[in-house]
Structure 1
Amino acid sequence: MFANAATGLIGVVLLFALLVAGLPIGAALGLVGLGGLMLILGIEPALIKSGVIAIDTLTRYELGTLPLFILMAQLFFAANASRDLFDAAASFMGHRRGGLAYAAVGGCAGFGAINGSSLATAATIGMVALPEMRKRGYSDALATGTVAAGGTLGQMIPPSGALIVFGIIAEQSIGALFTAAIVPGITQMLFYALVIWLLVLFRPSIAPRSDRAGWGERMRALSRIIDMLALIALVIGGIALGWMSPTEAASIGVSGALLISALRRRLSLPMLQHAFGETLRTSGMILLVVIGALVFSVFVSVTGLADALGTLVTAFDLGPVATLLLVALLLLLLGSVLDGLALMLLTTPILLPIVQQVGMSPIWFGIFICRAMEIGFVHPPLGMNLYVIQGVAKDVPITRIFKGVTPFLLSDLLHLLLLILFPAMALWLPTILE
């Protein structure tokens, strides 16, 4: 009686209302999904189904990737990775006009490969880069906009927590998703560099030149990050080339991070306690969200909502590009009011079948939705990265940060359009490496 698309639509609206009201995303997904299954299947079958989903999720081998990469990031925090990455980039680029802004983007990319979180990348690099840029006369708008946008590289540069979660929900290869993210991640970074170049070309005063670092200073700065870069290259390259599974690569990453921390004399019992505590807290939160999302996904599947929407879209006969542009518009609208993870978990069960109907692969959609999430992080007025940056630079008005991030936001929209028009941006490398 209740197993119809209307019930699924009511569930989606209720979930959206709970998220806007501030209910934690994992609890909202689980409650709506479980409640809907109880309504359709009955109390006992719904409880049994949800229990099976929870146990199956917690015992999945590939899920070990997530806490291992989080622990790797925590160990690199202790090793002062953010400061070393920015200093190395600044020593090579700082003498150029806008060089510290380029260095901030490079530092965000490097730290994003370690950390995998947009918010953490923006906050950590912001604490290092913003004081340096402002001290050397950079415009507040350029400085804050650069770091806010650069922080979103944390979600795209592998290993990415968002892509791990998507891979689990969509039942796709995490290794393939990481490989598919490499080219979009690099081109996104190049787009940001192009924005900086154009801004300082037309307004040189917003980014004065700094003193040129000598080669001795550059080599010392490079020597402080070469071990981290080698480990990152081994982890990402090992996954992309098929030498190791993502879980094996994450284990090697943790072992390497422990060794690097020990060699830098930062390994101690209090540091390990803090790293393990943060890893358990973050992993537990994400696992709750994933289980809730899978229960909600089953509810959506049982109601037939995704099939009904797919049939509706097909009936309009818009064609692949127009359909994907419509999906992108929906994601951008929702991304301006929803947290990035909430956006992914809410929309994947509904939109993935539609995307597949127009001939796009789930791997491409994983990269596509990750880019849409990133745009949500810097989309005024609710982009979370913008408020993270304001927390670091408390004397900069939020409107100034909005102004600074706007050129980068426009480049993000262009990048997303290119991803639609040229799917090979995401699919070429995985195909070559197969």
Structure 2
Amino acid sequence: MSGFQFIETKKVAASDVGTLTMEDLRDPTSNLPLDWTRIGQECEDEKDAVRLPIDVVEEDAFDPTDDHLAIIGTSGKKVTKIGGLGAPLKFKIICLRSHLIEKMEGLEGHSETLEELELYDNQVGALEQLEHMPKLTNLDISFNAIRNMASVSNCKLLTTLYIANNKLTSIEGLEELTQLKTLDVGANRLRSMKGIGGLVNLEHLWMGKNKITEISDLQNLKKLRRLDIQSNRLTKVENLENQIDCLEELYLASNGIDDEGLAPETGVLLNFQKLNVLDFSKNQIAKLSHFSHLTSLDELWIAENDVSFFSEVEALTPNNLDCVYLEHNPIAKDHDYRKKLKNLLPSLTQIDANAVGQEGRGMVGGGFSNNGSVAGYGMAAMTDEQRVKVMRILQQQALQKAKVEAEKNSTKPAATTMGPAPPP
């Protein structure tokens, strides 16, 4: 069979099953919003769905001059099989996102032209036919069931590879991919970074949500701008000496890093020239002096750690920070938390998720306290929106006070003007 094979996943009778129109295929995003928070989850409409295979596209249904094919899966229209689309169709870009495809097949005819292939959120179990795609520069095979990635070695022109959320236990096949600039292997089952050492042009590396215990194999990655190893099993930061002149963003949240783990001289103590974003949220750090020398730093995210004293914040004064996240640290319990941070770091324009001087978890210089009540902040200095919020809070507080008083009065014994009851 040529073309694609779909299934109808709605609760319909066989006689009602129709076919996708060319309008559906050419404008796949029209009135078909994706819920990105539920990718990979079964839709309510599909739990008891009747799954009926239907041929919906023949090879003569496409304009032979088209070089871009995009079919986005929705609840009701899912590609299950890629048929053999032969000549004269020569696509440069094929996007089959969020379907039920299990095999990479039927792509042989595009070997001379295919540059971008996206099979995000399918059920592909193995990388196949890549030997027929020597011109491929972009491959997105995330959210599938792939266990071995060695065959990517056939695609020596790859610049972008997304293979996140699969079942990989090791990184293979990258030795000759010297053109690769972006690699995402997050949310797999990796225990080490072995296999990336030859990626001399790599600029962006995502390895979050694995089981990595050590930062390693970065010695040849001298163009690396963004390194993300969040949600792993790291206990220290090291082996970054070859990124001192290139690293701009470092994300190490949700690991087991404490003050001792920041001590190695090949880690954050290096004098990084371009580092502007540093994320150590959800670790065990108490001292901020580790970061005082990073004068290029714009954003420091260190929420949910063990910072207990504002004297630690003073160590950051040389940094000229724009944004700091310190919420859910012991110091964040202080009533004047935001005001003190602003006084210590006057360059701040954002504290936690709120802009300085705007509504949120207490305003710098007054406004709204930690519990949402009105603090000492002049009405004349407020914006119209702030004044409205103040009036609403005052109204709510007055109503609450009246309610409390009413409840107190209702529990008091009824007053009486009668004298004591006569003796029996």
The answer to whether TM tops 0.5 is no
Please indicate the TM-score interval, normalised by the length of the shorter structure.
Answer: under 0.3
Q: What's the TM-score, normalizing by structure 2?
A: 0.17
Structure with higher RCO (Cα < 8 A, 6+ apart): 1
